[in-house]
A and B are shown apart, each in its own frame.
Chain A
């Protein structure tokens, strides 16, 4: 553990990783129960276009990614609502177009290099101090907003019609949840990379849902699993010289497996 106390980059990675992973897990519970688990995967691919655009325009890639992800998330929502397209189809369209745009922009920017790969596969250990604070700040805001609207989100996830009838502005809250998801995906991208970020959203939440007998438990268990995965994942990655992103995701999957077996017994 000594290294974790001495090396600044390890501390930064740990702090940012834990906060972001817990925000991902929290939203993941809602997304899974809304049958929207794949939106994380789709938005992550769109984020690639944002990063490439940032590199192309020489603007901080993270900020561009945030803008593009939020727009894409709202686009997916509208496509579903207005055009009568199934949710998974809308996600598939947006994710592939995002990826395609990203490839074009990256080629134009001549930036198919280490930088871009770090976004694809994650490079949490290289996270800069400014990004750490941005990530933590945004993750805290996301968690705070979800907690503030906890019962509303739970109600509309469980029974949309009754929620509407009780006067809850389901349409507006849908948009809010969609924006929160987009922001969280971008943050998660910094931790485990575009290709693995949906794992942070889905796996800890799916594991928590295995054992939870009520909603509060599901939220708490999922957050704990996210916390443990990042903590142990980073320690293992550091000492065994593994890539952090892969280690974190595999660990969370092992915890999911453990919960799954435990539930069957």
Chain B
């Protein structure tokens, strides 16, 4: 991964984003940066706009107000989506009978966009296997995706999301329906990706308990950004309680 010093520290800048589904306000005036190397957890109650926010960042939804800057470019002009990895919310999007092997799932992302210069078949295979290895799924490459356990499927989806060596990886509630022991391994793996591979990680989660050990930054969302800052500050500030109590205070602590 290229992490040269002259590259800007801010990977993604969310500026004053608002979004509504018809009359229902989902997000209001959300502003925060995502810095290179962050391990950021976006937390908040159901319907607080977490998934919507990520979808706006990824260009899947258009904000009604505000702008997102990705790697220094306005989102609507940004086109190098290979630099952004995404693992969507599980369960909602998977057909358990789909005839794709784990390897093919990773290949979809890797080969769907034409590569220049073209790689040989052997080089392609190596890249795909490397991604599977990074998530510890190299021995399952020929398994049908529906035949794997929930946790294993998630690993394959992460392999898919990192196969193009992105700068940043978004995960939407990745551990839903995964038992707690598997979750622990799962977060360890994310830790490795974050620290060793230098991939910035943004994670939507309900589970404030387990992320405590891993994340460096927390963004607390409840329509508005209630808190954004380091994890340590977050624990001290008791911002989560404020949020639940309905205080819409925006505080930035860095």
A159 to B109, CA, bound (A): 11
**Is there contact, CB below 8 Å, between B79 and A162?**
no
Q: Which of B96-104, B203-211, B245-253 contacts A (4 or more CB under 8 A)?
A: B96-104
**Is there contact, CB below 8 Å, between A165 and B94?**
no
**Is there contact, CB below 8 Å, between A154 and B104?**
yes
A214 to B100, CA, bound (A): 4
- The residue in chain B whose Cβ has the minimal distance to the Cβ of A154 is B108
**Is there contact, CB below 8 Å, between A165 and B107?**
no
Known contacts A162-B88, A166-B113, A213-B144, A151 near B101 by CB under 8 Å:
no
A213 to B80, CA, bound (A): 32
A144 lies within 8 A of chain B by Cβ: no
- The residue in chain B whose Cβ has the minimal distance to the Cβ of A150 is B111
- The residue in chain B whose Cβ has the minimal distance to the Cβ of A213 is B144
Known contacts A151-B107, A161-B88, A168 near B99 by CB under 8 Å:
no
**Is there contact, CB below 8 Å, between B100 and A162?**
no
A215 to B111, CA, bound (A): 14
Known contacts A158-B98, A161-B93, A166 near B81 by CB under 8 Å:
yes
- The residue in chain B whose Cβ has the minimal distance to the Cβ of A34 is B95
**Is there contact, CB below 8 Å, between B86 and A159?**
no
A60 to B81, CA, bound (A): 46
For A213, the chain B residues whose CB sits under 8 A away are 99, 101, 142, 144
B189 lies within 8 A of chain A by Cβ: no
B26 lies within 8 A of chain A by Cβ: no
For A215, the chain B residues whose CB sits under 8 A away are 99-101, 104
Interface hits, A192-220 → B, CB 8 Å: 209, 212-218
A89 to B87, CA, bound (A): 32
For B157, the chain A residues whose CB sits under 8 A away are 162
- The residue in chain B whose Cβ has the minimal distance to the Cβ of A168 is B112
A161 nearest CB across to chain B (Å):
5
Q: How many residues of B contact A (CB 8 A)?
A: 33
Known contacts A165-B58, A166-B86, A159 near B94 by CB under 8 Å:
yes
B54 nearest CB across to chain A (Å):
9
A30 nearest CB across to chain B (Å):
12
Chain A interface residue bracket vs B: 20 to 34
A202 to B88, CA, bound (A): 30
**Is there contact, CB below 8 Å, between A155 and B98?**
no
- The residue in chain B whose Cβ has the minimal distance to the Cβ of A161 is B88
Please, what's the 1-or-0 string for B101-127, where 1 marks a CB less than 8 Å from any CB in chain A?
101110111011100000000000000
B82 lies within 8 A of chain A by Cβ: yes
A134 lies within 8 A of chain B by Cβ: no
B59 lies within 8 A of chain A by Cβ: yes
A33 lies within 8 A of chain B by Cβ: yes
**Is there contact, CB below 8 Å, between A165 and B60?**
yes
For A152, the chain B residues whose CB sits under 8 A away are 112
**Is there contact, CB below 8 Å, between A214 and B160?**
no
Known contacts A164-B60, A166-B113, A158 near B100 by CB under 8 Å:
yes
**Is there contact, CB below 8 Å, between A165 and B84?**
yes
A162 interface neighbour in B93, B104, B107, B144, Cβ under 8 Å: B93
**Is there contact, CB below 8 Å, between B101 and A167?**
no
Please, what's the 1-or-0 string for B40-84, where 1 marks a CB less than 8 Å from any CB in chain A?
000000000000000000111000000000000000000111101
Listed in ascending order, the chain B residues whose CB lies under 8 Å from chain A are 58-60, 79-82, 84, 86-88, 93-95, 97-101, 103-105, 107-109, 111-113, 142, 144, 157, 160-161
What would 29 A/B residue contacts be, using CB atoms closer than 8 Å? A151-B112, A154-B104, A155-B108, A158-B95, A158-B100, A159-B88, A159-B93, A159-B94, A161-B60, A162-B93, A162-B161, A164-B60, A165-B59, A166-B81, A166-B82, A166-B109, A167-B80, A167-B81, A168-B112, A168-B113, A213-B101, A213-B142, A213-B144, A214-B101, A214-B144, A215-B99, A215-B104, A216-B104, A218-B99
Listed in ascending order, the chain A residues whose CB lies under 8 Å from chain B are 33, 151-152, 154-155, 158-168, 209, 212-218
Inter-chain pairs besides A155-B108, A160-B93, 17 sampled, C-beta below 8 Å: A33-B98, A33-B99, A151-B112, A154-B104, A158-B95, A158-B100, A158-B108, A161-B60, A162-B160, A163-B108, A163-B112, A165-B60, A165-B84, A167-B80, A214-B103, A215-B100, A218-B99
